[in-house]
Amino acid sequence: MVRDNDPSKTNPANEKENMTLYLKGAPERVINRCSTLLMNIDEHGNETEVPINDLIKKKINIANEKFGGSGERVLAFSKRVLNPKTFPKNPMYNFDVKSWASWEQSVKETPINSFANG
């Protein structure tokens, strides 16, 4: 899903005025597209992120197997605030399925954050 962070701004000057990409899916698919894990958001909205390393991936897989093994459906979520120079609103960046391959390559240039309850 793509969300417009500030619909009143057609030519955003920064990422907060631009768009944010949200992804939901199987943990192993989402985590493999991420480079950081969101561990905490304080009362002021400040985010604490840690790099995703092999140990974190192992812990995620263990938790995934634990919940999945007991019949629970496990989902992972990620977000990425999009740079307005790469993903402009005006003209609107084309997020259709036909452009997925080129879009996915563009997204790999900047890390996506994944979420966790820590």
Query: Tokens in use for 70?
Result: 């007991």
Distance CA 89, CA 54 (A): 36
In the three-class reduction of DSSP (H, G, I as helix; E, B as strand; rest coil), residue 3 is classed as strand
pLDDT score at 106: 58
> Domain total for the chain?
1
Residue 118's pLDDT band (cuts 50, 70, 90): very low
Question: What is the domain-level CATH number for residue 44?
Answer: 3.40.1110.10
Residues 80-108 pLDDT 10s: 888 898 888 876 666 655 555 555 555 55
Q: pTM of the full predicted structure?
A: 0.66
Mean pLDDT of the chain: 80
Confidence of residue 51 (pLDDT cuts 50, 70, 90): very high
The predicted pLDDT at position 55 comes to 93
pLDDT band at 54 (very low <50, low <70, confident <90, very high): very high
Domain that residue 51 falls in = 2-115
Under 8 Å between Cβ of 26 and 67: no
Give me the residue label for tokens 């974190």. Answer: 56
Give percent of the chain above pLDDT 90: 14
